[in-house]
Amino acid sequence: MRVLFSSCHNYLDPTSGAAISTRALLRELVKRGVETRVFCGSFFDAPDFSMKDFTDLLSRQGVRAAVETRRVTLDGRSSEFKLARFDDSGISATVLLPHDAFVSTRPPGSLSERTGKLFLKLLFAELDAFPADVYASYGGYWAAPYAAEGAKRCGAANVFFLHNLAYRRRELFDFFDLIIVPSDFARRRYSERLGISCEVVPPVIDESRILSDSFDPRWITFINPSVEKGLYFFLGLALELNRRLPAAPLLVVEGRAGIGALTSIPEARTLTNLYYSRTLDEPREIYRQSKILLAPSLCEETFCRVAVEAAANGVPVVGSNRGAIPEVVGDKSLALPIPARFTPSARITPEISELEPWLETIVSLWNDENKRKEIGAGLRACAARFSREHTVARTLELLQNAVRGRKK
């Protein structure tokens, strides 16, 4: 079986759950003898991502890229662009680096018409050179339906990995034979919203990246300090924990949002219990040193990777009850309510009364080591549902069925 993954989003993005999941899956497919290629663009979730950041990222990943400059004629005009080609653990990858690739990396709607046409032209050339059995993609950029339509004309079974709840248009999925979502919550939501049928397969969790073999728990950890992930709710918790548990240090790890999202808030500068960390390509060190993970997400999560990763390490996860968090954590007592007034864009700090259930749970876990270990053991057992072997086997089964369906 031949698989071509393509998206204007870059599949190496270390701050994107979709990219992390995709790359891990593609690597597993290669290990199982699937010939796998990638043709992707340069959208990154971090809005200030630069060409130097991309070069540094390749270096950290141990990838050596050959960069070539090429020209092509579009609409009677000549366009210059660059292609970065490299081998990524058996994945033959090509990244388009046009002149405006990093001018505006988010949102994907910022993809210019000219760059979109260039992307499609090169993608169709890739499909001609590499007749794929499966064309896989994610991302709602405007060129996506045209890409899928072209792949279907080439005879590929089209597969869409639907990672979030941002999609509102049914027609985007008209050219896809298989749609995969990461949770039963996401499956139900898209059935209700768009009337589409989805298969549930959780993301690949690469244990080598996230599992620690030793533990030195010391932090209450919050990853990705963005507004929709509960930045202001976390700030309310941090202010009160600074008073109730002054000896408990809080670690904030950047993700899609950088540290400045928190430090720019005046109240945060009064905290004496706050520490920061950059994004780690292999986050097992974060979980090795975490006593508790906080996931006060304000959005309807379709999976919540960090909660599963922490749970797999036996780290208690105190999260909101929105979206799939109760589903993936498994221990419903750790999925706590957040008032409805806290919408994903809300920049308001909570009242003490709204924080009490959270504070009570956090303080109890912090002070009771036996309780942490008992809950952690249960979470670790629950996280075994998301084993890499099970996920990859199920994905392969669905891909093979889609290919057989296209050949009938």
Give the CA angle between residues 42, 396, 178 to the nearest 5°: 65
- Determine contact, residues 181/190, Cβ cutoff 8 Å: yes
Strand order in the sheet with 274-277: 274-277, 250-253, 219-223, 290-295, 317-320, 335-336
What's the pLDDT at 100? 53
Q: Tell me, yes or no, if the two domains 2-204+388-407 and 207-386 fold the same way.
A: yes
% of residues, the chain, pLDDT over 90: 67
Flag whether pLDDT at 323 surpasses 60: yes
Q: Count of alpha carbons within 13 Å of 368, Cβ hemisphere only?
A: 13
> What mean pLDDT do residues 246-268 have?
88
- Determine contact, residues 114/74, Cβ cutoff 8 Å: yes
pLDDT tens digits along 372-395: 999 999 999 999 999 999 999 999
Phi, psi dihedrals of residue 69, rounded to the nearest 5°: -100, 130
- Determine contact, residues 119/96, Cβ cutoff 8 Å: yes
C-alpha R_g of the chain:
22
Flag whether pLDDT at 18 surpasses 50: yes
What's the pLDDT at 368? 95
Q: pLDDT band at 101, cuts 50/70/90? A: very low
The whole-angstrom separation of Cα 294 and Cα 17 is 17
What's the pLDDT at 110? 61
What's the pLDDT at 104? 42
Domain ranges of the chain: 2-204+388-407, 207-386
Flag whether pLDDT at 408 surpasses 60: no
DSSP state of 32: T
* Residue range 2-204+388-407, CATH number: 3.40.50.2000
pTM of the model: 0.88
What's the pLDDT at 132? 96
What's the pLDDT at 142? 84
Looking up tokens 């919203």, which residue turns up?
193
- Determine contact, residues 346/298, Cβ cutoff 8 Å: yes
CATH fold of the domain at 207-386? Rossmann fold (3.40.50)
Q: pLDDT band at 75, cuts 50/70/90? A: confident
